[in-house]
A and B are shown apart, each in its own frame.
Chain A
Amino acid sequence: MALTLAETNHVMQAAVDKARELNIKISVAICDAGGRLLAFNRMDGAIWGSVYGSQGKAIASAAFARPSGELQERADTPIIRGIAAAEGGHMIPSQGAVPIIRNGVVEGACGVGGGTAQQDEDCARAGVAKV
Chain B
Amino acid sequence: MTLKKAHECIERGIAKAQELGFKVAVAVVDDAGHLVACDRMDGALWVTPEIARAKANAAAAFQASTLDLEDRFTKRALFAGGVTQLGDYQFVFGRGALPIVEDGHIVGAVGVSGAVPADNDHAIADAAAGHPVVPRSH
Contacts and interface: CB of A to CB of B under 8 A. Distances in A.
A37 interface: yes
A38 B46 CA distance: 8
Contacts of B70: none
Interface in B26-78: 27, 30, 32, 34-42, 46-47, 49-50
Contacts of A43: 3
B36 A5 contact: no
Interface size class of A (residues with CB under 8 A): 10 to 19
Contact of A41 (B3, B34, B49): B3
Nearest to A4: B42
B2 to A, nearest CB: 5
Contacts of B4: 44
A42 B4 CA distance: 10
B39 A36 contact: no
Given A36-B49, A51-B34, A44 B42 contact: no
B46 A34 contact: yes
A37 B30 CA distance: 18
Interface of B: 2-4, 6, 25, 27, 30, 32, 34-42, 46-47, 49-50
Given A5-B40, A5-B42, A41-B36, 19 more contacts: A4-B42, A9-B39, A27-B35, A32-B46, A34-B46, A37-B46, A37-B50, A38-B40, A39-B37, A40-B38, A40-B49, A41-B3, A41-B6, A42-B36, A43-B3, A44-B3, A44-B4, A48-B32, A51-B35
